[in-house]
């Protein structure tokens, strides 16, 4: 009977670890926060034993793990469960309890399990008519490492329904087992090749609600697991495990605390100056409009590719610029770090004598007119001088009177 209990507990351990892993192809936009938690109902059939109970997953923070020389950023997930055991062992009625406590380190971008650590303890009492009930105690501590996380193989970015692909990876086990007084330790490595099939998007109703899920089926040659994953939940809504005709199990979401990350970017539009506008003068008024589903937390402005400067409100008045072509960009950021940028380009001229400047070239026109007038005055003066009549020649002086002839 010891061997039978050990086999059951080993199968339970393998089933639990496999079913509790996040689905392949989960969204890379998942982000967890303190207090996130998921509760599941578990039902399993392991040969002649049935196991049922509850399992609680909880987010415990971020960390990093090194696998085969490569470092990965991880989400640390803790879990604990309590199960009741029923059925029979070798034809005799059996009942008992099992507890599970452990953790999963999941690579952040894919949610693939990197390291899984499980502590399982089980107490089973077998009753036989005419005999004292036999009670057996079993516990196992197991560490499973997947290398590389998620396996090697090309996964389609947007697979069509029914599309399949394969992944291969190495699984390394380290186990310490206690079986009714016998303590053993073992380690091993094995190569695993999985065929993953995308079954499309399905709507599923569970005790926690109704969800639209991406469904993946994973076949490792010995067992088939199916995962219903929802971004709204951040974890599996349901998992199902089937190995042959004697081993099966399901996890169904009963409640959860999780807020999906805000992936909706804000919007911003520059309302002034208008694109390709011509502005007379060196002072410019810049205005914009922005919006976000959770609210804009910061607004910045950049001029002609310079550094970003924080601004407030929805406008900046009397911005002083040199003459020329300018590009002004407005960048807004929401509380989740999503950003949006919009820009406008325009010309301005602040030359006092420029026809495109603030005085419309009036000083230049005044100078030109003045020059013209001065020129006219000078020309008129010259013409006047040329047209004046010449003075008459002076008369010769009068001659003195002469005496008449024969005057005495």
pLDDT per position as a tens digit, 135-181? 989 899 999 898 887 678 877 888 999 999 998 989 898 999 998 88
How is the beta sheet containing 315-320 ordered, strand by strand?
Answer: 267-272, 283-291, 315-320
**Does the model's pTM come out above 0.75?**
no
Q: Judge whether residue 53 has pLDDT over 90.
A: yes
Residue 153, pLDDT score: 81
| pLDDT tops 80 at residue 12 | no
Return the pLDDT at 148. 81
**What residues contact residue 359 under an 8 Å CB cut-off, 6+ apart?**
352, 353
**Does the domain made of 267-349 have the CATH classification 2.40.70.10?**
no
Average pLDDT, the chain: 85
Give 59-82 pLDDT, tens digit per residue: 999 999 888 788 889 999 999 999
Contacts of 251 (CB under 8 A, 6+ apart): 19, 20, 40, 41, 42, 55, 236, 238, 239
The answer on pLDDT for 27 being more than 60 is no
pLDDT value at residue 136: 87
pLDDT for res 204: 97
Give which of 50, 135, 66, 65 is closest to 105, Cα–Cα: 65
pLDDT tens-digit readout, 209-232: 999 999 999 998 988 989 999 989
What is the share, in percent, of the chain residues with pLDDT greater than 90? 50
pLDDT band for 301, please (50, 70, 90 cuts): very high
Q: Which CATH architecture has domain 2-257?
A: Beta Barrel (2.40)
Specify the pLDDT at position 23. 45
Q: Which of 123, 71, 115 is nearest to 99 (CA)?
A: 123
The alpha carbons of the chain give a radius of gyration, in whole angstroms, of 45
CA–CA separation, 59 and 67 (whole Å): 21
Per-domain residue ranges of the chain: 2-257, 267-349
Q: Which residue has the higher pLDDT, 354 or 55?
A: 55
**What's the pLDDT band for 379 if we cut at 50, 70, 90?**
confident
Cα–Cα distances (Å) from 103 to 60, 279, 404, in that order, read 9, 64, 162
Nearest Cα neighbor of 241 from 227, 221, 255 is 227
Segment 25-53 mean pLDDT: 84
Per-residue pLDDT, 327: 96
pLDDT tier at 114, thresholds 50, 70, 90: confident
CB 230 within 8 A of CB 240: no
Identify the pLDDT of residue 25: 45
Which residue, among 231, 266, 261, 260, has the nearest Cα to 338 in the 3D structure? 266
Give per-residue pLDDT as tens, 248-296. 989 999 999 998 888 889 999 999 999 999 888 889 999 999 999 889 9
Distance, CA of 298 to CA of 84 (rounded, Å): 53
> What is the model's pLDDT at position 22?
45
Contact 234, 30 (CB under 8 A): yes
Is pLDDT above 90 for 58?
yes
Q: What confidence score (pLDDT) does residue 21 get?
A: 43
Residue 157's φ and ψ, nearest 5 degrees, are -70, -45
Would 2-257 and 267-349 be classified into the same CATH topology? no
């Amino acid at each position: 009977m010891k061997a039978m209990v050990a086999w059951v507990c080993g199968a339970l351990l393998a089933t639990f670890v496999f079913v509790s892993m996040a689905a392949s192809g989960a969204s890379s936009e998942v982000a967890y926060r303190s207090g996130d938690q998921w509760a599941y109902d578990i039902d399993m059939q392991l040969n002649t034993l049935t196991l049922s109970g509850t399992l609680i997953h909880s987010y415990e923070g971020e960390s990093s793990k090194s696998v085969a020389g490569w470092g990965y950023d991880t989400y640390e997930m803790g879990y604990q469960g309590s199960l009741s055991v029923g059925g029979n062992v070798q034809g005799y009625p059996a009942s008992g309890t099992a507890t599970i406590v452990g953790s999963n380190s999941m690579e952040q971008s894919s949610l693939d399990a990197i390291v899984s650590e499980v502590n399982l303890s089980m107490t089973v009492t077998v009753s036989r008519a005419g005999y004292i009930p036999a009670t057996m105690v079993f516990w196992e501590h197991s560490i499973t490492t997947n290398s590389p996380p998620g396996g090697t193989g090309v996964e389609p970015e947007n697979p069509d329904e029914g599309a399949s692909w394969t992944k291969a990876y190495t699984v390394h086990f380290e186990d310490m087992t206690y079986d009714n007084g016998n303590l053993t330790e073992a380690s091993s490595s094995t190569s695993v090749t999985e065929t993953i099939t995308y079954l499309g998007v399905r709507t599923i109703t569970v005790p926690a609600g109704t969800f639209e899920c991406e469904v993946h089926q994973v076949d490792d040659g010995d067992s088939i697991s199916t995962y219903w994953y929802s971004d709204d939940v951040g974890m599996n809504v349901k998992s199902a495990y089937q190995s042959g005709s004697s081993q099966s199990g399901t996890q169904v979401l009963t409640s959860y605390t999780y807020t999906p990350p805000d992936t909706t970017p804000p919007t911003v539009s520059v309302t002034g100056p208008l694109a390709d506008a011509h502005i007379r003068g060196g002072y410019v008024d810049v205005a914009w409009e922005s919006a976000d589903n959770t609210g804009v937390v910061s607004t910045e402005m950049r001029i002609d590719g310079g550094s970003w400067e924080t601004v407030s409100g929805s406008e900046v008045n009397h911005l002083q610029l040199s003459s020329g072509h300018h590009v002004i960009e407005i960048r807004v950021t929401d509380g989740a770090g999503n950003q949006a940028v919009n820009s406008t380009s325009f010309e301005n001229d602040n030359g006092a004598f420029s026809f495109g400047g603030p005085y419309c070239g009036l000083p230049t026109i005044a100078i030109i007119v003045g020059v013209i007038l001065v020129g006219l005055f000078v020309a008129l003066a010259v013409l006047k001088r040329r047209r004046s009549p010449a003075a008459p020649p002076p008369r010769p002086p009068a001659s003195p009177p002469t005496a008449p002839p024969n005057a005495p």
